[in-house]
Chains A and B, each alone.
Chain A
């Protein structure tokens, strides 16, 4: 648990200045090397595939747009009312429910294949040549989603990496048709639920609250820890949204505010606890619940301490 803090504690960005600290974010993906990797992947696709892929993408986007128009002007009410204490499954990874609409985000799918597992993506440091972690997103023997692999903290020796080893599984960013930004609307919920079977390792739950239009928020994430105890028993974790804290590029911020529940575009689980070895996390579902007895807005103090030198005049 202690080395988790190295992730969650804030380091003053000025102290790690490499000449590019500041508010301006030149690259959407964080650094030029990631842009280069994306460019290389794009260049690698043959021209013909780009044309046919574009045509199919256009068809899909128009279909999505038509559904959105129908939703907006249609007769069905999109306002969902959930009872106090009712468990709402946001993503249901139980493979037995593949043909059935059981999850919140699938309820708009009209006849489309309802396998929530296909909507989730994985990433690890070896994808960006920053490490040697391996990860897989498969179906477990008991019919749920299993994120497993080997977390490796060995450093690639290219001179620019100080710490290696992370693995991430998360949903694709919510979007409207034609790649416009959209958010999940979780305003009616107070807690996040995860029914999972871990192996004793602690995972970070990361909520992406970035806004595509404002680059200062591109790397803002709300984060909390999913503690697992391992073992063959399923674990049902209920984490209040108020306990998530804001971090920017991994550094916990001094000024905390409540999580904007209507502004989340992505959720994911990150493993970065610097212990080399195999990991696995079996997830049954990720859900939300509304608990009317929970009134906390944020678990972190919003006021400034009177000793804080930047908030009050004082002598050195």
Chain B
């Protein structure tokens, strides 16, 4: 933007301003601002004074610059699940960020483990595992004959990076389909007409005040833990289960089923040659 000479493109009268004088130069300046916008850069005071010096505030580049300042500040903090800027490129740190975002139970404990701690593991890699105390209680409450499933790999996006994660899930015997458990105004939490009291044979005070496990009871299964590994291979998942058994002794008795079918890498970047071939394009003649 500094390339433009000063005192040359400023409009002299109302007609010059309104009739888009110096269209090529103004268009070029706007294109520079468009590129900035595409990369998420907001114009700063220096840029603003530069544009006003070059084109005056009755020009298209200034209008665009002012709009960028307005809208970018409006949406800068609009994301309720923000990610750091710039995003770390390391897979482990991305996994930590992803799991932190995904786990909506505030008590979730995210631990970084290593498969090297498990003897007999082939893959020596990191494992990031997320489990909350409520989920641990749910595991210990499962019957001995239950099977738990390791589902995955599912994809989660963190801006432009793509990560695979796996979930440990058990079948939910009483799925509830009509519940809006995230609705904080839900009457069933505010209902004081029948509070269970331990003196009348209902639960203890400690049990009732325990963190809500309800959030993990989804209708397609009970989510018991989520994890991401360095290699996303079956062996690393096996090591994850072994590592989980330290905090969930029940897992040693339950049968674990792995529902994966193939191998996948955790960070998937689409390279040009990996993309599937495009379908043939019907070129229409341009007017």
Residues of A within 8 A of B (CB): 1-6, 8-12, 14-15, 17, 32-33, 36-37, 85, 87, 94, 96, 126, 129, 132, 141-142, 150, 152, 154, 156, 158-160, 195, 199-202, 225, 227-236, 252, 254, 275-280, 300, 307-310, 314, 316
Contact = CB atoms under 8 A, between A and B. Distances in A.
Contacts of A234: 182, 218
Contact of B30 (A12, A33, A227): A12
A233 B71 contact: no
A312 B269 CA distance: 51
A201 B79 CA distance: 11
Interface of B: 10-11, 17, 20, 23, 26-27, 30-31, 34, 37-40, 56-58, 60, 62-64, 66-68, 71-72, 74-75, 78-83, 85, 98, 101-104, 154-160, 162, 165, 167, 169, 177, 180, 182-183, 185, 215, 218-220, 223, 226, 268, 270, 275-276, 278-279, 281-284, 286-287
Contacts of B34: 6, 11
B64 A275 contact: no
A235 B157 CA distance: 15
A126 B11 CA distance: 44
Contacts of B158: 200
B270 A232 contact: no
Contacts of A2: 39-40, 85
A231 B103 contact: yes
Contact of A230 (B64, B157, B180, B183): B157
B279 to A, nearest CB: 7
A308 to B, nearest CB: 8
B257 to A, nearest CB: 16
Given A159-B286, A233-B215, A275 B159 contact: yes
A144 B236 CA distance: 31
A195 B180 contact: yes
A99 to B, nearest CB: 14
Given A15-B60, A230-B157, A277-B157, A85 B30 contact: no
A141 B220 contact: yes
17 contacts: A6-B34, A8-B71, A10-B64, A10-B67, A12-B30, A12-B64, A15-B30, A142-B219, A158-B286, A202-B79, A227-B78, A227-B79, A229-B81, A231-B101, A232-B154, A252-B71, A276-B270
Nearest to A195: B180
B276 to A, nearest CB: 8
Closest 3 CB pairs of A and B: A2-B40, A231-B102, A230-B156
A254 B67 contact: yes
A199 B67 contact: no
A316 B78 CA distance: 35
A154 B278 contact: yes
A129 B180 CA distance: 41
A277 B270 contact: yes
Given A9-B72, A229-B81, A277 B268 contact: yes
B106 to A, nearest CB: 13
Contact of A129 (B39, B40, B268, B281): B281
Contacts of B160: 275
B44 to A, nearest CB: 16
Contacts of B20: 14
A143 to B, nearest CB: 8
A199 B155 contact: yes
B226 A231 contact: yes
A141 B11 CA distance: 63
Given A10-B71, A129-B282, A233 B79 contact: no
B189 to A, nearest CB: 13
Contact of B279 (A132, A225, A276, A278): A132
A16 B82 CA distance: 33
Given A199-B155, A234-B218, A276-B270, A5 B182 contact: no
Contacts of A228: 81
B157 A199 contact: yes
Contact of A200 (B62, B157, B167): B157
A187 to B, nearest CB: 21
Contacts of B215: 233
Contacts of B284: 33, 36-37, 129, 158
A230 B101 contact: yes
A227 B66 CA distance: 26
B104 A227 contact: no
Given A5-B75, A8-B75, A15-B31, A232 B67 contact: no
A74 B1 CA distance: 67
Contacts of B80: 227
Contacts of A254: 67
Contacts of A229: 81, 101-102, 104
Q: Which of the listed residues A3, A232, A233, A314 has the most CB atoms from chain B within 10 Å of its own CB?
A: A232
B11 A5 contact: no
Contacts of A3: 38-40
Nearest to A276: B270
A158 B283 contact: yes
Nearest to A225: B78
A158 B281 contact: yes
Given A4-B75, A277-B162, 10 more contacts: A2-B85, A5-B72, A11-B37, A225-B75, A232-B154, A233-B223, A275-B157, A276-B275, A277-B270, A307-B57
